[in-house]
């Protein structure tokens, strides 16, 4: 097996199941779905005709070759196959438990096809910035990110755990209820956005933000 990728699909609320059905037809069978919320205001969504800011986030796991094939198809013949706007990108995983990886590899071999066609235009040019911050402070994070070139993001509700050592080691009192702000940005804007978010909203501020980034393999806008 050449590796495992995770395909992240951020689509309109209620369209996540349709994306999973489409992926199943293309040899991608293992999914996790959770709710999210876009950062654009409802007025902007209405003006742009983008529908609700409520999102389905689908995390799909596939053998690397299968993921590349699916991304190519989403950028070509499968574009518009699911009636939704959104974004799809994939990330390379560095590890996974053996039984799950074996199941993914089995399905990949069952549905193996040729890898013809050109890769998506945005291959390897973007990063995913993840910011965990105090619940309710995502708007401040996004305002700072937009000042430095970000276009928008998706908010996921979360809870921070295992932070006792960090609190003791750095004399912090961290709030466990969290928002995760996921922002896809061009690589040339990544560093400036991360530095600005950390400087203005870092762990010693009211927003208590922690920031990291992951390189995106391929990106398709639906």
Show the tokens assigned to 173.
């009192």
Any idea which architecture 4-120 has in CATH? Answer: 2-Layer Sandwich (3.30)
The pLDDT of residue 42 is 52
- Name the residue ranges covered by the structural domains of the chain: 4-120, 126-217
Intrachain domains 4-120 and 126-217 with the same fold: yes
Instruction: Please tell me the distance from the alpha carbon of residue 180 to that of residue 13, in angstroms, as a whole number.
Output: 18
Question: Tens digits of per-residue pLDDT, 25-66?
Answer: 998 998 999 999 988 655 544 544 445 689 999 999 999 999
pLDDT the model gives residue 40: 66
Tokens of 17: 């199941």
Q: What is the DSSP letter of 83?
A: S
Ranges under pLDDT 50 in the chain: 44-45, 47-50, 114-121
Q: Which long-range contacts (CB under 8 A, 24 or more apart) does 208-212 make?
A: 208/133, 208/134, 208/172, 208/174, 208/175, 209/131, 209/132, 209/133, 209/137, 209/141, 210/131, 210/132, 210/133, 211/129, 211/130, 211/131, 212/129, 212/130
The rounded Cα 170 to chain-centroid distance in angstroms is 30
Give the pLDDT confidence of 200-211 residue by residue, as tens digits. Answer: 999 999 999 999
What pLDDT score was predicted for residue 20? 96
Residue 102, both tokens: 């074996």
pLDDT of residue 53: 84
pLDDT at site 123: 62
pTM over 0.85: no
Q: Which CATH architecture does the domain made up of 126-217 adopt?
A: 2-Layer Sandwich (3.30)
Per-residue model confidence (pLDDT) at position 120 = 44
pLDDT of residue 52: 61
Q: What pLDDT shows up at residue 84?
A: 93
């Amino acid at each position: 097996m050449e590796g495992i990728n995770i395909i992240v699909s951020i689509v309109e609320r209620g369209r996540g199941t349709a994306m999973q059905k489409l992926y199943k037809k293309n040899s991608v069978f293992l999914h996790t779905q959770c709710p999210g919320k876009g950062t654009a205001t409802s007025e902007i969504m209405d003006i742009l005709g983008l529908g609700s800011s409520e999102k389905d986030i689908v995390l799909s796991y596939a053998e690397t070759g299968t993921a590349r094939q699916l991304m190519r198809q989403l950028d070509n013949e499968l574009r518009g196959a699911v009636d939704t706007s959104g974004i799809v990108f994939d990330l390379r995983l560095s590890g996974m438990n053996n039984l799950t990886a074996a199941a993914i590899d089995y399905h990949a071999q069952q549905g193996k096809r040729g890898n013809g066609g050109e890769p998506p235009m945005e291959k390897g040019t973007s990063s995913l910035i993840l910011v965990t911050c105090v619940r309710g402070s995502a708007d401040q994070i996004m305002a700072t990110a937009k000042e430095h070139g970000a276009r928008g993001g998706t908010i996921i509700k979360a809870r921070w755990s295992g932070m006792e050592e960090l609190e003791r080691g750095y004399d912090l009192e961290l709030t466990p209820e969290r928002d995760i702000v996921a922002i896809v940005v061009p690589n040339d804007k990544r560093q400036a956005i991360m530095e600005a978010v950390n400087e203005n909203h870092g762990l010693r501020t009211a927003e208590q933000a922690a920031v990291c980034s992951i390189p995106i393999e391929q990106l398709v806008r639906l």
